[in-house]
Structure 1
Amino acid sequence: MKVFSNTETFNYSWEEVSTANWRKYCPWNDKSTHVLAVDTISRTVDPETGILRTERLITCKQSMPEILKKILGAGMEDQQVFETSYVDPKQRTVTMVSENITWNNLLNVQETVVYRPLNDHQTSFEQAAKITALCGGWQKIKNSMEDALVKRFRDNAARGKEGFEAVLAMSRRVFAEEQQREKMMLIQAQAVNIRMAA
């Protein structure tokens, strides 16, 4: 088993990050074009804790590690990942736990991501992935597969941050535009009320 870990800081509030997280795979994130579909399977809120629990199936197109291509004779594949997320409004955390479904009899990848506030204007991102090749006693092949995926996680980390930064910036602009529209509608409604009262 190999472990990949990464931490980042986003210069956005936890509220902005936890909201934008649902838009992470939107069309304006050109760093996530490999994501083909995100299907929500279930969504529930615990009445006692207020925790929002969401299960999603994420389908993406990714090339397999070279070592797996040689073993399986496969190349670019549609792959599926099962994700369970927990948004805790009291503790102000978003925790996402995901695991691959595709090829999980050969390779198991369990990833955990946690967003939590550092202060009113910054949010920390903590990522950890456990990568386990399940190839019986072939230690050299197991190590090659695990190393390849650790490298992929490392390579994707910077791209992922850059893409999410774009989503956060767009979300902030959209939110500001919505607030401006609401303010204008309120001003117009007040002007109508004043005219009607006169």
Structure 2
Amino acid sequence: MKLFKSTHEFDYKWSLVSAAQWQKYPNDNCPHVQHVDVLNRTLDEKTGILTTERLITVEQNVPSIIRKILGSSSIQYVREISIIDPKAKTLTMRSVNLTMANLLTVEETIEYKEHPDGPHKTQFTQQAAISAGNMVARWGGILEDFSIKRFQQNAAVGREGFAQVLERFVVMAEAAESGANKMEQ
């Protein structure tokens, strides 16, 4: 098993960052994400906690020889469960690959929470555990090493893409707020 962890700070309030997260795709930096479908969404009226289950369709750039050997497609599916707790000011997203999970499992947890220094920042933490299945035990270490490097690259690109989405979201939110203020006057 290989582990990955990354942290980052966004210079925006948690409410803004967590709202922008839902606008992350489509994203020019992450063209491999083809679709994001909501499968289920529930709201606990007592706690205000919103739980969302999504199916994410991605097209992986897997070499054709590997696809032929494994009998797989370049289309992969990921299941994600997101939990937003507005009182604790946390958005936690847990995902696991559904496609070829018998060969390689990638379990990822992302958390956005209000920064300990104050409400003007958001703390982002991303963790992943990558483990090769028994079918590839002989090559497991090589597969895990390759996958963790790829995950690190994709995480950096994904964070850059989200930063661009967040910037656009901030501009739209400020414009909407400005328009609302003008209408009040």
Secondary structure at 2:126 match in 1: strand
CA-CA distance at 1:138 after TM superposition: 3.0
Tell me what 2:12 maps to: 12
Tell me what 1:109 maps to: 106
Q: Are 1:68 and 1:145, in contact at CA under 8 Å, matched by a contact in 2?
A: no
Aligned residues: 183
Separation in structure 1 between the aligned mates of residue 45 and residue 182 of structure 2, nearest angstrom: 36
Identity %: 44
| Cα deviation code 1:108-150 (max 9, x no counterpart) | 11100011111222111111111111134733x1011111110
**Between Structure 1 and Structure 2, whose CA radius of gyration is higher?**
1
CA-CA distance at 1:105 after TM superposition: 1.6
Separation in structure 2 between the aligned mates of residue 171 and residue 15 of structure 1, nearest angstrom: 12
Tell me what 1:193 maps to: none
Q: Are 1:9 and 1:124, in contact at CA under 8 Å, matched by a contact in 2?
A: yes
**TM-score normalised by the chain length of structure 2:** 0.91
CA-CA distance at 1:65 after TM superposition: 7.0
| Cα deviation code 1:167-190 (max 9, x no counterpart) | 111011001111122122223xxx
Separation in structure 2 between the aligned mates of residue 5 and residue 66 of structure 1, nearest angstrom: 30
Higher alpha-carbon deviation: 34-43 or 44-53:
44-53
User: Alignment partner for residue 183 of structure 1, among 173, 181, 184?
Assistant: 181
Separation in structure 2 between the aligned mates of residue 149 and residue 70 of structure 1, nearest angstrom: 19
Q: Are 2:102 and 2:135, in contact at CA under 8 Å, matched by a contact in 1?
A: no
For structure 1, the 5+ residue unaligned runs are 188-198
- The letter of the residue matching 1:123 is T
Q: Are 1:65 and 1:149, in contact at CA under 8 Å, matched by a contact in 2?
A: no
Q: Are 1:67 and 1:145, in contact at CA under 8 Å, matched by a contact in 2?
A: no
Separation in structure 2 between the aligned mates of residue 39 and residue 70 of structure 1, nearest angstrom: 28
Tell me what 2:44 maps to: 46
For structure 2, the 5+ residue unaligned runs are none
- The letter of the residue matching 2:128 is A
Tell me what 2:120 maps to: 121
CA-CA distance at 1:69 after TM superposition: 4.3
Q: Report the RMSD for the aligned CA atoms in angstroms.
A: 1.9
Tell me what 1:64 maps to: 62
Q: How does 1:20-99 map to 2 (within 5 A)?
A: 20-26=20-26, 29-64=27-62, 68-69=66-67, 71-72=69-70, 77-99=74-96
